[in-house]
Structure 1
């Protein structure tokens, strides 16, 4: 194999190269500066967070203005195309929002370790490489980079027993999932002799399904699919999700709920639609079971929750079930609906977690933990209460908010492919989920509090962020074509 790379290869992945260099420079700066007695051992988390935000924004600009598109680089290890660039841009902007959300939270929670934003950036680096991966080896290394940093982040509050428990559970179950992934990749390589997506696809075209080699490839594909379903917390591999969400710091919970899932969904689209599409029948049934199970468990599981983070965890499981509808139908319309839903879901998740992070009591800085704590929001801060109501109305799918259109596109794509069972279950569970979303709004506006409680004034950055997202959710129906055209343009080459 020739490992001599051309200059075009490095220019095509310039955003990732710049990202790697920047992370290493920030790490060296932080280690040297914070351990220096000359500067009295300063706390650098605020400085490093702002530096990380600037770096992520520069990477976003480099990605948006990448001259090279629709090419395979580094000996067919990575692919650079318009679809990947769109998802990367969404992930980078989401991470910037999460770091902005974490600035004040870290101050209140006394999280002073500069490693926090660096670990977040390393996780994003793994996600970006995962999106561009065009080889099983590159895919596995990218997922492991993302996973290792996620294990550390989930246990970042070392003084908290809940955080330590979350990190330990996530590490053990994540290692188990990675074993499935590696075993599946080794089976596919053993029966095909190839690890590149395109080469595997060419070997499977026109092959006989009764062939022994194909049976081995199908088993390997199912192992990879099981690992994928675990990592996106889809049923029946969802049991770890509520505990991890509750035990991790709230900013990390928001990060887990928003960023890694869309990267994994992109990996799935690239591997299963580009390389293993010939074996679609063999893995469609498992996806159908996971989609229906996730929608049912997510909807009914959230009804009995009294803690906000566990409620959002079950809500995320339900949303994963809706996203899997787009994978089950396996058409251009369903892929479009999946990407559209994922982007709108990111907007709604950022808004909901931002509201949870900024709302604190003014007397003891106590954060929101239970659903009953929402009684004080609408009465003490009408702006936050209004944004909270709009966000949860949109998550419930109430028209004409953006969340309604995202579900409509998925359900219509399922109906066009005669997947009536998925459509009926999706609509029914969506109606059921309205119960606990509307209960949150009812508690915020109509429940009477026994004592008057004042809330801490939100920071300027978070206020602007929530205002922009709320405005997008409200007026999205006036001009949805911009996002629609962008998604259509990006998935054309993927689905051809």
Structure 2
């Protein structure tokens, strides 16, 4: 009898313990659940109200944009005030730590600005597709899950959820051939890269029987006797790692897997291009760092060589291909490929300094691109005061210094920062990255990086020359800058101008986060 009472109490204790763990699991991913639930609620709200005959089929873009901004803001507050700071949840498939919190905060901040500065564009262009905002919220929540992934299964599910939203976003302008082509091209090549990624995961699982990142690290570091003795397991895992690497390089638009990005970025609507260029980089580099810094660190020699080749090729091609571009979005696409090369150089160092340099560069890169698109998303006026659809060609900037000198100065400062001219934020991030490369004996990467930075000055400063010294063929100027874009420009320009005078907070935060990932 006493034995039965003891057994019953033990069962009750185990049940309560499981319930407690289950509650904690959901509590730790509350920001992601909140954002995803908000997206679904807004979708239902949009479908019901936009098809309401009694309400005369209202256009919901303005109210939904404000609600989306509030959703991002509340998710950020939930993330910062989360009671659980370090945990492995949902059967070790998701991880919560300082690194994931930092990257998630960066994703939410950049998503907020992407929606905020595109409000006027959507209103002026009559882009009455409220689904745009829903897709952005759902893809952002997928990216938050992606950053927390600690297992190949959760990684793949989050990556596919994000990619499906991106395919639809690229083809959002249904009456535009360019947008449809961009969506189709992105879908086909994105599906191909996902297939490569999945094949790499299946190879590693097939030869280790493990999908968890930390367990893979234990196997590759210590290794079981059978695994170390096996002649096929280690080469097969290296091959799987290469397929994983190719899949990720495809997603982050690194050379030689960059071919889709200029066409997709140009064909997609400009707010979508801004979102593609700015937000996914943080999520993809976050999970990329975790996999290769944790699971495959013992394979550092093979993946370091691949990353170095891709980094050098991205820097060189991004700098050279941008020289001949006449369209502003294609120019920024090739510029982004060059910046990915610099980010990969920091990753290829394989050290804490390299990861810290990558994180600093990522933050500065996001702020610089937000500033660029805040200007590009502002309206232009041509002769006879005819409003035209935004900045399209680099020649549209002609004589901007005469028509709007403050905007021209803002654009000039941003371009100088992207080129890496001191004392702006872009110079600090590049200098720190090159010092990290030199400390890891990657002298070739540092030298070629400096040369590519010098070469990139040509096409950035060419835009400055057009703004200040070239007379326009068709007279055009910027109409009044929207309030949202002006606020965005004020915040980001302040960061770019004064970051180098007080970089300590970001320096300390990134150092702490790099230690979190490496220890």
* TM > 0.5 fold call: yes
The whole-number CA distance in structure 2 between the counterparts of 1:139 and 1:452 is 50
Aligned equivalent of 2:131, options 112, 115, 124: 115
The whole-number CA distance in structure 2 between the counterparts of 1:379 and 1:192 is 65
Query: Which stretch has the larger CA shift, 50-59 or 450-459?
Result: 450-459
> Does structure 2 retain, via aligned residues, the 8 Å contact 1:180–1:227?
yes
Match in the other structure for 2:257: 237
The whole-number CA distance in structure 1 between the counterparts of 2:510 and 2:476 is 45
The whole-number CA distance in structure 1 between the counterparts of 2:307 and 2:122 is 38
How far the C-alpha of 1:45 sits from its partner, in A, is 1.3
Match in the other structure for 2:507: 484
- Is 2:271 the counterpart of 1:251? yes
TM-score normalised by the chain length of structure 1:
0.98
The whole-number CA distance in structure 2 between the counterparts of 1:98 and 1:209 is 52
Match in the other structure for 1:8: 24
- Is 2:484 the counterpart of 1:464? no
SS across alignment from 2:88: strand
Match in the other structure for 2:311: 291
The whole-number CA distance in structure 2 between the counterparts of 1:231 and 1:454 is 36
* Unaligned segments of structure 2, at least 5 residues: 1-14
> Does structure 2 retain, via aligned residues, the 8 Å contact 1:45–1:116?
no
SS across alignment from 1:66: coil
Match in the other structure for 1:364: 386
The whole-number CA distance in structure 2 between the counterparts of 1:406 and 1:15 is 30
Query: 1:187-226 to 2 correspondence within 5 Å?
Result: 187-207=203-223, 208=228, 211-226=231-246
The whole-number CA distance in structure 2 between the counterparts of 1:153 and 1:17 is 22
- Is 2:182 the counterpart of 1:166? yes
Listed one character per residue, the Cα deviations across residues 441-477 of structure 1 (whole Å, up to 9, x for unaligned) are 1110111235653431111111011011111111111
Listed one character per residue, the Cα deviations across residues 201-223 of structure 1 (whole Å, up to 9, x for unaligned) are 11111344984211111111100
The whole-number CA distance in structure 1 between the counterparts of 2:229 and 2:213 is 19
Listed one character per residue, the Cα deviations across residues 109-137 of structure 1 (whole Å, up to 9, x for unaligned) are 22101100000111111111000000000
The whole-number CA distance in structure 1 between the counterparts of 2:169 and 2:474 is 37
Listed one character per residue, the Cα deviations across residues 305-351 of structure 1 (whole Å, up to 9, x for unaligned) are 11111100100000000000011110000000000000000000000
- Is 2:294 the counterpart of 1:274? yes
- Alpha carbons of 1:179 and 1:40: their partners in 2 closer, same or farther (altered >3 Å)? same
How far the C-alpha of 1:79 sits from its partner, in A, is 0.5
Aligned residues: 495
> Does structure 1 retain, via aligned residues, the 8 Å contact 2:399–2:466?
no
TM-score normalised by the chain length of structure 2:
0.93
Match in the other structure for 1:437: 460
The whole-number CA distance in structure 2 between the counterparts of 1:88 and 1:428 is 33
Match in the other structure for 1:391: 414
Match in the other structure for 1:124: 140
Aligned residues: CA RMSD: 1.4
Match in the other structure for 1:42: 58
Aligned equivalent of 2:432, options 377, 392, 409: 409
> Does structure 2 retain, via aligned residues, the 8 Å contact 1:209–1:215?
no
SS across alignment from 1:111: coil
> Does structure 2 retain, via aligned residues, the 8 Å contact 1:292–1:321?
yes
Asked which structure has the greater CA Rg, the reply is 2
> Does structure 2 retain, via aligned residues, the 8 Å contact 1:414–1:420?
yes
- Alpha carbons of 1:318 and 1:38: their partners in 2 closer, same or farther (altered >3 Å)? same
